[in-house]
Structure 1
Amino acid sequence: MAALPLLSRLYLRKKDLPGIGAKHRPEFRTKLELAVELLRWAKPWLSLLKLPIWVAAGDAYTKKEFLKPAKALGMTVVSRLRKDAALRTRPGPKPPRRRGPAPTYCAGVIDLAKRAGQRRGWSSDTFELYGEKVVK
């Protein structure tokens, strides 16, 4: 697996745009919109490799405005989550004869802080890091 930065975009804050001449002033776009633009640009090129595409992103990008387009493009996003992230289990099938839309979230809350502290919830493996084998 290799990581290669391919392209970048300059983010300009909305309040800084008036200071740029009208001739050169770009349209304002959020960081998430710029990131999705880069994903859409990279997809056709990286698809030529016929390999799965993984995107490493900071925790600021774990929002639906970024994750939904990445999923639609068939990309896997790897990111850090805060230990107090609001994660819930997926609901089961909709019970028969129930009115209204199916629930989006289930009542089961996943507590990441407790999950991280459990030995039974994690597995160990041997990896080569900096030329030597270590168990992580």
Structure 2
Amino acid sequence: AADRVYLLAHGKVEKVGEGPYGAETVLEVLADGAYFGDQALVDGDATWSYTARAATACTVLVLTRQDVLNLAERAGSLRGHLDALASIPEQRTNKYGEAAIELSAGHVGEAVVPHTFVDYELSPREYELSVAQTVLKVHSRVADLY
């Protein structure tokens, strides 16, 4: 059961899980200032979908779900924030954790394109990149328009 949130004050932690071919793989590397296990704060029945393994010596702060709920009783803003997070419906994702986007294709006439909206964060984390690559699969009819 996931009943604690971990705040990584110093060090590196690897989130290890099952890869696409069933082998163990590193899903994410967390460093100073990161946290994990936060789902335990809004979902009392949360379970771990990964293993957290220290990659270096770490200083970790641990809060149990009960500690956070006790604090939320005294701090109305924290209670409001936790309630708002719990009320957000679970997002539909595929097996890779990507947002499920409805697609439509057809060869007769013009197919109706479904509406899809992507979640927007007001203050997202920013990362500087030197190179970004992607693969875009586009139907040849659409590519002809450009």
Q: TM-score range by the shorter chain?
A: under 0.3
Of Structure 1 and Structure 2, the greater strand share is in: 2
Greater relative contact order, per chain length (Cα 8 Å cut-off, separation 6+) = 2
Q: What TM-score comes out, normalization by structure 1 length?
A: 0.21
Q: What TM-score comes out, normalization by structure 2 length?
A: 0.20
Of Structure 1 and Structure 2, the greater helix share is in: 1
